[in-house]
Amino acid sequence: MTEKGNILLVGVGGQGIILASKILSKGLLDAGYDVKMSEVHGMAQRGGSVTTQVRYGEKVYSPIIGKGQADIIVAFEKMEAMRWIDYLKPNGKLVINDYEIPSVPILVGKDEYPKDIIKELEHKLDVIKLKAAEVAKEIGNIKTQNIVMLGCLVEALGLNEIDWEQKIKELVKGKYVDINIKAFNKGKQLAR
Protein backbone atom coordinates (compact mmCIF):
# COMPACT_ATOMS: atom_id res chain seq x y z
CA MET A 1 0.00 0.00 0.00
CA THR A 2 1.34 3.42 -0.91
CA GLU A 3 1.72 5.44 2.27
CA LYS A 4 0.78 8.84 0.97
CA GLY A 5 0.26 10.61 -2.27
CA ASN A 6 -0.52 13.85 -4.05
CA ILE A 7 -2.66 13.55 -7.16
CA LEU A 8 -3.41 16.43 -9.49
CA LEU A 9 -6.12 16.13 -12.12
CA VAL A 10 -6.21 18.88 -14.71
CA GLY A 11 -8.39 19.58 -17.72
CA VAL A 12 -11.22 21.70 -19.01
CA GLY A 13 -14.76 22.24 -17.73
CA GLY A 14 -17.12 19.53 -18.94
CA GLN A 15 -14.56 16.70 -19.16
CA GLY A 16 -15.85 14.92 -16.06
CA ILE A 17 -12.86 15.59 -13.82
CA ILE A 18 -15.00 16.23 -10.76
CA LEU A 19 -16.69 12.81 -11.00
CA ALA A 20 -13.37 11.05 -11.54
CA SER A 21 -11.90 12.70 -8.45
CA LYS A 22 -15.03 11.91 -6.42
CA ILE A 23 -14.65 8.20 -7.19
CA LEU A 24 -10.93 8.45 -6.45
CA SER A 25 -11.32 10.15 -3.08
CA LYS A 26 -14.19 7.89 -1.99
CA GLY A 27 -12.03 4.86 -2.75
CA LEU A 28 -9.14 6.28 -0.73
CA LEU A 29 -11.45 7.21 2.16
CA ASP A 30 -12.94 3.72 2.35
CA ALA A 31 -9.42 2.25 2.29
CA GLY A 32 -8.81 4.03 5.59
CA TYR A 33 -6.73 7.00 4.48
CA ASP A 34 -7.11 10.56 5.62
CA VAL A 35 -8.15 12.33 2.42
CA LYS A 36 -8.44 15.94 1.35
CA MET A 37 -9.67 17.02 -2.01
CA SER A 38 -9.69 20.52 -3.36
CA GLU A 39 -11.46 21.71 -6.45
CA VAL A 40 -11.42 25.01 -8.20
CA HIS A 41 -14.60 25.71 -10.05
CA GLY A 42 -16.35 29.05 -9.98
CA MET A 43 -16.06 30.16 -13.57
CA ALA A 44 -14.87 26.78 -14.86
CA GLN A 45 -18.23 25.83 -16.31
CA ARG A 46 -17.69 28.66 -18.77
CA GLY A 47 -14.74 26.98 -20.52
CA GLY A 48 -11.96 27.68 -18.02
CA SER A 49 -9.32 25.31 -16.69
CA VAL A 50 -10.45 22.83 -14.06
CA THR A 51 -8.17 21.27 -11.48
CA THR A 52 -8.83 18.96 -8.62
CA GLN A 53 -6.21 17.99 -6.13
CA VAL A 54 -6.46 14.83 -4.09
CA ARG A 55 -4.09 14.20 -1.17
CA TYR A 56 -4.10 11.06 0.94
CA GLY A 57 -2.03 9.61 3.74
CA GLU A 58 -2.15 8.86 7.45
CA LYS A 59 -2.77 12.55 8.19
CA VAL A 60 -3.24 15.28 5.60
CA TYR A 61 -3.00 18.98 6.46
CA SER A 62 -3.03 21.25 3.42
CA PRO A 63 -5.84 20.58 0.94
CA ILE A 64 -3.65 21.87 -1.87
CA ILE A 65 -0.52 20.56 -3.52
CA GLY A 66 2.51 22.81 -3.91
CA LYS A 67 4.78 23.17 -6.91
CA GLY A 68 7.08 20.21 -7.44
CA GLN A 69 4.95 18.14 -5.05
CA ALA A 70 2.53 16.06 -7.11
CA ASP A 71 3.34 12.35 -7.40
CA ILE A 72 1.24 12.17 -10.50
CA ILE A 73 -0.55 14.55 -12.83
CA VAL A 74 -3.44 13.26 -14.87
CA ALA A 75 -4.00 15.68 -17.73
CA PHE A 76 -7.34 15.31 -19.48
CA GLU A 77 -6.18 17.81 -22.10
CA LYS A 78 -2.71 18.29 -23.59
CA MET A 79 -2.12 21.99 -23.05
CA GLU A 80 -3.32 21.70 -19.45
CA ALA A 81 -0.49 19.22 -18.84
CA MET A 82 2.03 21.88 -19.74
CA ARG A 83 0.18 24.54 -17.74
CA TRP A 84 0.52 22.48 -14.55
CA ILE A 85 3.75 20.58 -15.16
CA ASP A 86 5.72 22.58 -12.58
CA TYR A 87 3.51 21.02 -9.90
CA LEU A 88 4.92 17.56 -10.67
CA LYS A 89 7.77 16.07 -8.63
CA PRO A 90 10.85 15.86 -10.83
CA ASN A 91 10.56 12.04 -10.68
CA GLY A 92 6.75 12.06 -10.81
CA LYS A 93 4.51 10.46 -13.41
CA LEU A 94 2.40 12.14 -16.06
CA VAL A 95 -0.67 10.54 -17.59
CA ILE A 96 -1.65 12.59 -20.59
CA ASN A 97 -4.71 12.43 -22.78
CA ASP A 98 -3.74 13.13 -26.39
CA TYR A 99 -6.71 15.43 -26.82
CA GLU A 100 -6.98 19.10 -27.75
CA ILE A 101 -9.56 21.61 -26.59
CA PRO A 102 -8.62 24.95 -28.11
CA SER A 103 -9.28 27.94 -25.85
CA VAL A 104 -10.91 31.16 -27.04
CA PRO A 105 -7.70 33.03 -28.00
CA ILE A 106 -6.95 30.06 -30.29
CA LEU A 107 -10.50 29.87 -31.66
CA VAL A 108 -10.58 33.53 -32.61
CA GLY A 109 -7.20 33.23 -34.29
CA LYS A 110 -5.12 35.31 -31.85
CA ASP A 111 -2.97 32.33 -30.87
CA GLU A 112 -2.22 28.92 -32.27
CA TYR A 113 -2.64 25.66 -30.43
CA PRO A 114 0.93 24.82 -29.32
CA LYS A 115 2.59 22.01 -31.26
CA ASP A 116 4.58 19.03 -29.96
CA ILE A 117 3.57 19.38 -26.32
CA ILE A 118 3.72 15.64 -25.65
CA LYS A 119 7.05 15.32 -27.46
CA GLU A 120 8.57 18.03 -25.31
CA LEU A 121 7.21 16.55 -22.09
CA GLU A 122 8.34 13.04 -23.02
CA HIS A 123 11.81 14.44 -23.39
CA LYS A 124 11.73 15.63 -19.79
CA LEU A 125 9.97 12.83 -17.94
CA ASP A 126 8.21 9.50 -17.84
CA VAL A 127 4.91 9.91 -19.69
CA ILE A 128 1.96 7.57 -20.13
CA LYS A 129 0.01 8.86 -23.11
CA LEU A 130 -3.31 7.67 -24.42
CA LYS A 131 -6.19 8.76 -26.60
CA ALA A 132 -8.91 8.48 -24.00
CA ALA A 133 -11.58 10.08 -26.16
CA GLU A 134 -11.07 7.52 -28.92
CA VAL A 135 -11.00 4.69 -26.41
CA ALA A 136 -14.22 5.98 -24.84
CA LYS A 137 -15.87 6.28 -28.25
CA GLU A 138 -14.93 2.68 -29.06
CA ILE A 139 -16.45 1.56 -25.79
CA GLY A 140 -19.63 3.35 -26.79
CA ASN A 141 -19.76 6.70 -24.99
CA ILE A 142 -17.24 9.53 -25.31
CA LYS A 143 -18.31 10.80 -21.90
CA THR A 144 -16.53 7.87 -20.25
CA GLN A 145 -13.11 9.27 -21.13
CA ASN A 146 -12.84 10.53 -17.55
CA ILE A 147 -13.14 6.97 -16.24
CA VAL A 148 -10.63 5.72 -18.79
CA MET A 149 -8.25 8.31 -17.34
CA LEU A 150 -9.13 7.21 -13.80
CA GLY A 151 -8.31 3.60 -14.65
CA CYS A 152 -4.96 4.73 -15.99
CA LEU A 153 -4.26 6.71 -12.81
CA VAL A 154 -5.11 3.83 -10.49
CA GLU A 155 -2.81 1.48 -12.41
CA ALA A 156 0.02 4.01 -12.60
CA LEU A 157 -0.13 4.57 -8.82
CA GLY A 158 -0.59 0.89 -8.05
CA LEU A 159 -3.72 1.53 -5.97
CA ASN A 160 -4.97 -1.97 -6.69
CA GLU A 161 -6.13 -3.02 -3.24
CA ILE A 162 -9.24 -0.85 -3.47
CA ASP A 163 -12.47 -2.23 -4.98
CA TRP A 164 -12.87 0.48 -7.61
CA GLU A 165 -15.73 -1.24 -9.44
CA GLN A 166 -17.72 -1.00 -6.22
CA LYS A 167 -16.97 2.75 -5.98
CA ILE A 168 -18.12 3.24 -9.58
CA LYS A 169 -21.34 1.44 -8.71
CA GLU A 170 -21.85 3.75 -5.73
CA LEU A 171 -21.21 7.01 -7.58
CA VAL A 172 -22.35 6.50 -11.17
CA LYS A 173 -25.99 6.41 -12.25
CA GLY A 174 -27.36 2.85 -12.64
CA LYS A 175 -27.59 2.53 -16.39
CA TYR A 176 -24.09 3.90 -16.92
CA VAL A 177 -22.34 1.59 -14.45
CA ASP A 178 -21.40 -1.20 -16.87
CA ILE A 179 -19.97 1.07 -19.54
CA ASN A 180 -17.96 2.97 -16.94
CA ILE A 181 -16.52 -0.23 -15.48
CA LYS A 182 -15.52 -1.19 -19.00
CA ALA A 183 -13.89 2.22 -19.45
CA PHE A 184 -12.09 1.87 -16.13
CA ASN A 185 -10.62 -1.53 -16.99
CA LYS A 186 -9.60 -0.35 -20.43
CA GLY A 187 -7.78 2.57 -18.83
CA LYS A 188 -5.96 0.21 -16.47
CA GLN A 189 -4.83 -1.91 -19.38
CA LEU A 190 -3.49 1.09 -21.23
CA ALA A 191 -1.31 2.14 -18.31
CA ARG A 192 0.41 -1.21 -18.05
Partner 1 sequence: MKELLTGNEAVARGAYEAGVTVASAYPGTPSTEILENVAKYKEIYSEWAPNEKVALEVSIGASIAGARSLAAMKHVGVNVAADPLFTVAYTGVNGGLVLVTADDPGMHSSQNEQDNRNYAKFAKIPMLEPSDSQEAKEFTKIAYKISEEFDVPILLRLTTRICHSKGIVELEDREQVEIKEYVKNIPKYVATPANGRKLHVKLEEKLKKLEEFSNNTSLNKVEWYDKKIGIITSSVSYQYAKEVFGDNASYLKLGFTYPLPKEKIKKFANEVEKLYVIEELDPYLETEIKAMGIEVIGKELIPRVGELNPDIIAKTLLGENKEVIEKNEEKVVGRPPTMCAGCPHRGLFYELSKKKNVVVTGDIGCYTLGSAPPLEAMDTCICMGASISAGHGFSKAAQVNGRETKVFSVIGDSTFFHSGITGLIDIVYNKGNAATIILDNRITGMTGHQHNPGTGYTLMGEVTNEIDIVKICEAIGVKHIEVINPLNLKETKAAIDKAMEVDEPMVIITKWPCVLKKSPNEEIEEYGLADRKICEVDQDKCKKCKMCLKVGCPAISFDSEKGAIIDDTMCVGCDVCLQVCPFDAIVKVGE
Q: Does 66 bind partner 1 (CB under 8 A)?
A: yes
**Strand partners for 128:** 95
Residue 98: other Cβ atoms inside 10 A: 15
Gap between the Cα atoms of 152 and 156, Å rounded: 6
Q: How far is the CB of 178 from partner 1 (least distance, A)?
A: 23
Q: DSSP letter at 21? A: H
Restricting to residues 83-122, which ones interact with partner 1 according to CB under 8 A? 83, 85-88, 90, 102-114, 116-117, 120
**Amino acid identity for residue 69 in this structure:** Q
Binding mask 152-171 for partner 1 (x = CB under 8 A): --------------------
Asked if 23 is part of the footprint of partner 1 (rule: CB under 8 A), the reply reads no
The half-sphere exposure of 4 on its side-chain side, counting CA atoms within 13 A, is 12
Least distance from C-beta 61 to partner 1, angstroms? Answer: 4
Backbone φ and ψ of 90, nearest 5°: -55, -25
**Using CB under 8 A as the criterion, which residues of the chain lie in contact with partner 1 when the complex forms?**
12, 25-26, 29, 34-49, 60-64, 66-69, 79-80, 82-83, 85-88, 90, 102-114, 116-117, 120, 124-125, 142
